[in-house]
Amino acid sequence: MTNPINGMPDRNWRRYVGLFVVLVTCALPGPFALADPAQEFAEADSKFAEAWRDQNLEEALPWARKRVEILSNQDRMSPQLLVPLLQLTAVEVQLSESVAALETIEHAVRILKKQPDDTTLLEFLMFKAQAYTAEFETADAFDTFGEAVKVNKRIEPYDLLREAMIYDAYLDAAKSRGAREKRKGDFAADKALSAREKLYGKDSIELIPGLEAYAEWCNYSSQFGDERETRERIIEIISQQAGSSNFRIAKQAIIIAKSHIYQRTQADDAAQVMELTQELDYPATAEGVAMHAQALAVSGDVQVVFGKEEKAADFYRNAWQLLADFLGPAEANRFFGREALLVFNFPDNPARGKSGEAYFESGTVTSEFTVLPNGRLKDVEFRSDIAKLDDTEFYKASRRARYRPRVVDGEPVSTADVIYKYRYQRLRR
């Protein structure tokens, strides 16, 4: 992947929000302390480059600071300081030294006020926003992202991918604050997707990573209907651009079906989307076989949750057999080696505290049971450290709960002594 801001190769631009600057170094022999500042800088530069190549950031940090110190002693406002300052910022941000990073960035911004360079300024602003996010100063982070968007609009030629990646970082900051910043997350997710739609077109296969990111945000923010619609759109694009039998459709169909299972809604839609996966062309590779087996297993899950248990067993048997034929029975048994939770909706609030007080008790509720071959639960017992727990609603939940059973040598089997725990935190109304 190329950093869209400076055009340099960079696989981690989005993760670190900044860039890995390509280092051109010159290793010179001799002791660290040299009288000639040029030689002293070259020594520090060589040591920094070596530590950076090895991704030894703790070792790189003092040398990065030494390089800035040497150049600052000659001219603190020299534009030649910008690249060393940018590299120092990258190290400080990755080592979570956010306060130091903000000081380094302010030094660079003062230089850029005298020697304007919007592309470089944008790099520092993105690091600044990330540093604020790490310090939980999200208001400052969002303000900085807003400034970055304005700066980006001044850079010619205008790059829509760069805009999208700025909003990707904005969205990451919103995620760090959870539900409290849902509106800002919605804004950033919409903007990032819109930029990619303008860049690639609404039906381009290149749009799929952007749609994936948007769907993931919808899942994170519990907008499951929007997530399903987005994944259905991905399926439509794959069908149009790569063929309706392309096996990559299976991944989206599986996620859509799991969303229906999680919410226990729209049984017909869940079954219909999984029917798509049975018509696909799976390559005879480990990846293709694994995807096909997963599709069969999730088709079984749909049947377990929505009531056709014998049909579910057939899907599980077929998935096991597919894996056994390609990878061997041992691998097939390993794939189905543990029971898998599908639905077990514990009550939202386990017990009220003292009469009249507006909170619920905190504590852990533990259930122990046997998972039957049809995915239902048997011999359910509850225990808890919550005083005066009324377990009536818990037993009701256990009757509606469903698991994917283990499959051994091609047959679904019972599993005893399964434990499921749920931790409640005392919540004020």
Over the stretch 262-306, which tens digit does the pLDDT of each residue have? 878 778 888 888 988 888 899 999 999 999 999 999 999 999 999
Q: Is residue 199 classed as helix, strand or coil in its secondary structure? A: helix
Q: What is the percentage of the chain residues whose pLDDT exceeds 90?
A: 58
pLDDT for position 205: 85
Give the start-to-end residue ranges of the domains of the chain.
1-155, 265-336, 342-424
Q: Mind listing the pLDDT tens digit for each residue in 188-221?
A: 999 999 999 999 999 888 898 899 899 989 988 8
107/78 Cα distance (integer angstroms): 11
Mean pLDDT by 10 residues, the chain (429 residues): 40 38 34 64 93 90 95 93 95 93 96 93 95 89 94 93 93 83 92 95 90 90 89 89 85 88 82 88 93 96 88 96 96 94 82 53 87 95 81 88 96 95 65
Tell me which residue has tokens 């509606």: 400
pLDDT for position 67: 95
pLDDT for position 116: 93
182/184 Cα distance (integer angstroms): 5
- Superfamily of domain 1-155 in CATH is Tetratricopeptide repeat domain (1.25.40.10)
304/341 Cα distance (integer angstroms): 11
Q: Which of 20, 2, 175, 177 is nearest to 94 (CA)?
A: 20
Amino acid identity of residue 368, one-letter, is E
Greatest alpha-carbon span in the chain: 83
Degrees, nearest 5: CA angle 37-40-46: 140
Q: CB–CB of 21/8 below 8 Å?
A: yes
pLDDT for position 270: 86
User: What angle do helix axes 82-94 and 118-134 make, rounded to 10 degrees?
Assistant: 20
Task: Tell the CATH topology of 342-424.
Answer: TolA/TonB C-terminal domain (3.30.2420)
Q: In what order do the strands lie in the sheet with 377-384?
A: 377-384, 363-371, 415-424
pTM > 0.85: no
Q: CB–CB of 350/386 below 8 Å?
A: yes
pLDDT for position 354: 53
- Which structure tokens are listed for 125? 């602003």
- Which structure tokens are listed for 103? 């000081």
Q: CB–CB of 398/347 below 8 Å?
A: no
